[in-house]
Structure 1
Amino acid sequence: MIVRPAQVAGKLYPADADDLITDISQNLLYFPVGNTFPYALVVPHGDMTRCGLSSAAAFRHLSKYYPYINNVIIIGCASVGSMGASLPICDEYSTPLGRVKVAQRYMQSLALFPFVHKSDKEHFKSTAIETQLPYLQTCLAEFQILPILIGEMSLLDINSLLASLPLNRKTLTVLALDIDRSEQRCFDHREQQLFNSYLNYIKSENRHIINAEHLGMQNGLNCVNLNYQSYIVH
């Protein structure tokens, strides 16, 4: 059993489990319960003190639908210079809230693509996957994850990868992207390229994307101080 330990607990989010749950719960309660069944969430992956509310605006939409979701695909950008799509070798990810299993069955099918490889080195370096787990562990019951880090890839390969992912009401996709709320663009150009590819993909699937904090603003909450943008895809 190979377990990826928490790399940024105490740095990007609290290392103490009680403090972590308290912070996440407070952020979630800032927003009303969503009425839209989410197909996917687009959320930031930085320091919880800076982007926790933006993440909560999206994850709050899981409140009514958590019993139905037991698989989560988490997609982020790999490190500069990485080629293709990277899957982890590890069996589980660990956070202060416990361990999360990696969906080995789905990984085996994805590994058949010539542009997909396995690398714990990439997944140990990246924080994009780990920073989503505490919110998922708080908002969902039992679930497993399919973590994917995207490096340099052709548009055709990205579309092939996205089209091969499981599509059902038990599966949620989480895109870990730091998007500047004022500019409506990713801070990193590689993340923007991934976001553009995903927007084209969901358009072809007749999906719609909306600002995650839209309901909060409708209910009179002040979201003007949020620096990061999050979205709901339905």
Structure 2
Amino acid sequence: MNTSSMVVRSPAVAGLFYPADAQQLAETIDQLLAGAEKYAYQPKALIVPHAGYVYSGTVAAVAYAGLRATAHTIERVVLLGPAHRVAIAGMALPIAKFFETPLGRVSVDQELVAALAHLPQVLVSADAHLEEHALEVQLPFLQKILGDFTVLPLVVGDVSAAAVTQMLEQVWGGAETLIVISSDLSHYLPYATAQQTDQATVQQILQLCQPLAYEQACGSVPINGLLLAAQKYQLTPHLLDLRNSGDTAGSHDQVVGYAAIAFNEKTGGAHEHEFNGTM
């Protein structure tokens, strides 16, 4: 690995999960955001799917559209997602100082990295981030909405929910810090079965009831950590959107579930209602 590749984490799924051309990517995200319903409160945390944009982009856009009103207050994003490619015991930070997408570079927040240095469950691994799509696909949306911000990217492997919560408490911050959990829901169930399964999972999340199992959500571990933190910090969850790949761009035979869920610190005016790119 050369020095430049250690400093900058290059995109791994540009041209696969989302457009590699900067103009086309920007236009795609603008179109998705334009079609998304807005919500009125400021979220402290979001659960957002991480499939190819053709599959889950409409759901992700709903989660991010509501940030526009308060985007100027958000300076940092704590971004957690599950490990799809490399087995990890703990939570992995990158070696890289920047994450790059076709829309530019995002700085890794070195102050927050330092704040986690004493935690035994947090390690540093370039390999964990090298091919991981779960975090990468969130960055273009965040770049379009927030503009200038720093990111604390963590790939979550085999670790307890309590250990995730402990990490979140170190970087919780105030209105300047947004937490994003990247996760899909059920994988490769028939359409009707997936709908029932995902609805039950969402109800569990809305009740702050953990643990979720991996079969319910590939990001179950970081979600479980967030749910524990949500209880402590009295966050209120709101379902923004719930669909699956059968609703967007896939068949009904085997679908992947997607939910957009926002957590805010005070109840407000909520509006309720694998490398093929589906996950």
Taking structure 1 as the reference length, what is the TM-score of the superposition? 0.89
Q: Work out the percentage of aligned pairs sharing the same amino acid.
A: 30
- Within a 5 Å distance, the mapping from 1:78-93 to structure 2 comes to 78-79=83-84, 81-93=87-99
Match of 2:274 in 1: none
Q: Distance in 2 between the 1:144 and 1:12 partners?
A: 23
| CA displacement at 1:225 relative to structure 2 | 3.0
The code of the aligned residue for 1:225 comes to: D
Q: Does 1:157 align with 2:185?
A: no
Deviations 1:67-104 (A, max 9, x none): 11111110011246310111011010110001110001
Q: Kindly indicate whether the alpha-carbon contact (under 8 Å) linking 1:73 and 1:171 is maintained by their aligned counterparts in 2.
A: yes
Instruction: Return the structure number with greater relative CO, CA threshold 8 A, min gap 6.
Output: 1
Q: Distance in 2 between the 1:187 and 1:24 partners?
A: 29
Match of 1:3 in 2: 8
| CA displacement at 1:106 relative to structure 2 | 0.7
Q: What is the DSSP-based 3-state SS (H/G/I as helix, E as strand, rest coil) of the residue aligned with 1:128? A: helix
Match of 1:131 in 2: 137
Q: What is the DSSP-based 3-state SS (H/G/I as helix, E as strand, rest coil) of the residue aligned with 1:179? A: coil
| CA displacement at 1:188 relative to structure 2 | 6.1
Q: Distance in 1 between the 2:38 and 2:81 partners?
A: 26
Q: What is the aligned-residue RMSD (CA, Å)?
A: 2.0
Greater shift, 44-53 or 158-167, is seen at 158-167
| CA displacement at 1:40 relative to structure 2 | 0.9
Unaligned runs of 5+ in 1: 215-223
- Within a 5 Å distance, the mapping from 1:169-208 to structure 2 comes to 169-180=175-186, 182=195, 183-184=197-198, 185=201, 191-208=219-236
- Within a 5 Å distance, the mapping from 1:55-134 to structure 2 comes to 55-79=60-84, 81-134=87-140
Q: Kindly indicate whether the alpha-carbon contact (under 8 Å) linking 1:76 and 1:177 is maintained by their aligned counterparts in 2.
A: yes
Q: Kindly indicate whether the alpha-carbon contact (under 8 Å) linking 1:6 and 1:95 is maintained by their aligned counterparts in 2.
A: yes
Q: Distance in 1 between the 2:77 and 2:98 partners?
A: 13
Deviations 1:50-74 (A, max 9, x none): 0000000100011111111111110
The alpha-carbon distance between structure 1 residues 225 and 201, as it changes in their structure 2 partners (threshold 3 A), is: same
The alpha-carbon distance between structure 1 residues 29 and 190, as it changes in their structure 2 partners (threshold 3 A), is: closer
Unaligned runs of 5+ in 2: 187-193, 202-213, 249-256, 265-279
Deviations 1:150-171 (A, max 9, x none): 1111333222112212321011
Q: What is the DSSP-based 3-state SS (H/G/I as helix, E as strand, rest coil) of the residue aligned with 2:181? A: strand
Q: Distance in 2 between the 1:167 and 1:36 partners?
A: 18
Q: Kindly indicate whether the alpha-carbon contact (under 8 Å) linking 1:34 and 1:63 is maintained by their aligned counterparts in 2.
A: no
The code of the aligned residue for 2:124 comes to: K
The alpha-carbon distance between structure 1 residues 84 and 11, as it changes in their structure 2 partners (threshold 3 A), is: same
Number of corresponding residues: 225
Match of 1:233 in 2: 263
- For residue 212 of structure 1, the aligned residue among 235, 240, 244 is 240
Match of 1:53 in 2: 58
Q: Distance in 2 between the 1:136 and 1:13 partners?
A: 14
Deviations 1:196-231 (A, max 9, x none): 3322221221101111239xxxxxxxxx93651111
| CA displacement at 1:108 relative to structure 2 | 1.1
The code of the aligned residue for 1:96 comes to: P
Q: Does 1:142 align with 2:170?
A: no
Q: Kindly indicate whether the alpha-carbon contact (under 8 Å) linking 2:115 and 2:171 is maintained by their aligned counterparts in 1.
A: no
Taking structure 2 as the reference length, what is the TM-score of the superposition? 0.75
Greater shift, 136-145 or 178-187, is seen at 178-187
